[in-house]
């Protein structure tokens, strides 16, 4: 293992990814893979991965995440479009615990999705950008994360492990400007949940009024008197998704 590390270039960025299976200590090759590392670091700073699940698991091969939709077809890059691969001759898929870009099935189609290797995967060489590695004892947290049951024939974990958050400890760029901070993202999500809850409560009340058709004629008439006047479209329209 030490010989492998000796052939790899030095890393220039560090992160800690907190997951439901424990922390993963990450080191990134930002000099060799600047596009992939800048994309990953900025998304981490934006809180993009917070709460996102590892939607795909192939035991002994890879575990994949980074898609907020959980479908395996979602995600985005910070560049507004997929970015190109960044192969490097000194970065090899030679062991477990390596971090790489997941693409859309073709080269140069990288976005927000990533995967960790669970073994040597030489068949992925030159097909995916390898831009980081897990260091120290935190590799065992990756193995724990990847030990969950997989639904037969799906590649989907039965109990999906998730990213809780990512702390960027060191990055060499110095000019990364998040489109939104992790705190702002959490506040927006909290507001969206509150709005959804209010809409459901409102719809439940509207449903209660509509159900007065089950009451006697006299009770319906009394209820109608109480609710004179038209309802706003905001009250009547179902939730937009």
Catalytic residue set: 56, 61, 64, 103, 115, 124, 128
> Which among 46, 28, 49, 27 has a CA at the least distance from the CA of 37?
28
Tell me the CA end-to-end span of the chain in Å, nearest whole number.
Answer: 50
> Which among 172, 190, 185 has a CA at the least distance from the CA of 45?
185
Residue whose entry in the numeric block shows the structure tokens 């990288």? 110
Structure tokens that stand for 204 in this block: 């439940």
DSSP secondary structure string for all residues of the chain: -HHHHHHSPPP-EEEEEEETTEEEEEEE-TTT-HHHHHHHHHHHHTTTTTT-B--EEETTTEEEE--TTSSSS----TTSS-B-----TT----SSSEEEEEESSSTT-EEEEEEEESS--GGGTTTS-EEEEE-GGGHHHHHHHTTS-B-TTT--BSS--BEEEEEEEE-S-S----SS-HHHHHHHHHHHHHHHHHHHHHHHHHHHHHGGGGS-HHHHHHHHHHT-SPPPHHHHSPPP-
């Amino acid at each position: 293992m030490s010989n492998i590390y000796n052939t790899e270039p030095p890393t220039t960025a560090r992160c800690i990814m907190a997951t439901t299976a424990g922390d993963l200590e990450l080191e990134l090759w930002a000099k060799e893979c600047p596009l992939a590392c800048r994309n990953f670091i900025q998304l981490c700073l934006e809180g993009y991965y917070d709460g996102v699940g590892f939607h795909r698991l192939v035991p002994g091969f890879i575990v994949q995440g980074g898609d907020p939709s959980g479908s395996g077809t979602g995600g985005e890059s910070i560049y507004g479009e997929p970015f190109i691969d960044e192969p490097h001759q000194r970065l090899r898929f030679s062991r477990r615990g390596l971090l790489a870009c997941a693409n859309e099935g073709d080269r140069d189609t990288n976005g927000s999705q990533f995967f960790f290797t669970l073994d040597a995967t030489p068949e992925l060489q030159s097909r995916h950008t390898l831009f980081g590695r897990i260091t120290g004892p935190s590799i065992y947290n990756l193995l724990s994360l990847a030990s969950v049951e997989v639904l037969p024939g799906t590649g989907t974990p039965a109990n999906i492990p998730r990213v809780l958050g990512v702390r960027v400890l060191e990055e060499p760029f110095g000019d990364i400007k998040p489109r939104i901070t992790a705190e702002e993202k959490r506040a927006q999500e909290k507001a969206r949940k509150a709005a959804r809850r209010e809409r459901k409560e409102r719809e439940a009340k509207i449903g209660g009024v509509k159900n007065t058709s089950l009451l006697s004629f006299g009770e319906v008439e009394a209820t109608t008197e109480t609710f004179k006047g038209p309802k706003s479209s905001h009250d009547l329209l179902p939730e937009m998704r």
